[in-house]
Amino acid sequence: MRVATWNINSVTVRIDRLLGWLERSGTDVLCLQELKCEPAAFPTERLREAGYEAAVHAGGRWNGVAVLSRVGLDEVVRGLPGGPEYDGVAEPRSVAASCGGVRVWSVYVPNGREVGHPHFTYKLGWLGALREAVAEDAAGARPFAVLGDFNVAPEDVDVWDRSVFEGSTHVTGEERAALAELRAAGLSDVLPRPLKYERAFTYWDYRQLGFPKNRGMRIDLVYANEPFTKLVTDAYADREERKGKGASDHAPVVVDLDL
């Protein structure tokens, strides 16, 4: 089974790229983030024609997540149980589903904006709620993974130049501690084993030639329990899909499982 995660940065704008990538990559289960569309605007029919069911949690111009599957789609949970609100709104940042014997959560962790901003506090609270919400699945015997855009670089090696991010979000001790607490629920970071690229970044800013200069970050992660990690045969960021006109600023992260 091939499982992947991708911050698509508008599913309606990039639907043709999405369908092309699904066909080329042979992906069975795909977790999407940053849909940027109303539920009614999600391209359900085009994906169904390509053989994929979709569990969607979207709310309009910002955010939005989905799980696409061609191996079954059951036990769907939309929203983060016990998750915090921001400005009185429970944002659509999490959706879970069971696909072909594997349980996945697609998550889009809040950005945080600036250290000390209310959105930063919201981000930390959201990560804490995520840990509580996934604890049962993480401890279970079924292969399970949380995939998505975490908006946190776990280590300094996961950013192109640590000094550039001094005092900024994505690299603070508080954010990394929240990730460590999530892993302590029984999850581990899948992408480092093995790597296809020396610096496996997953996001490059559109500005200042970020991608050509490889000024990237690894913030799209796959955190999985032991039954899942034991099945992993390969894991990599698909840099090729970041190339060309109309690309998302994130690359898909792909994990192959031997079931």
| 197 is a catalytic site residue | no
Query: Catalytic one among 52, 122, 137, 149?
Result: 149
Please tell me whether 170 is known to bind a ligand.
no
- Identify the active-site residue in 52, 122, 137, 250: 250
Give 36's contacts (C-beta < 8 A, 6+ positions apart): 9, 10, 11, 12, 13, 61, 62, 63, 64
34: its two tokens: 């940053």
Q: Which of 52, 108, 122, 223 is catalytic?
A: 108
To the question of whether residue 240 is assigned a binding role by annotation, the answer is no
Active site residue 223: no
Q: Is 119 within any annotated ligand binding site?
A: no
28 annotated to a ligand binding site: no
Tell me if residue 149 is catalytic. yes
CA 104 to the chain's CA centroid: 11
Q: Report the sign of the C-alpha dihedral through residues 247, 248, 249, 255, in that order.
A: negative
Q: Which are the catalytic amino acids?
A: 108, 149, 250
The binding site for Mg(2+) consists of 7, 34, 149, 151, 249-250
| Residue list for the binding site | 7, 34, 149, 151, 249-250
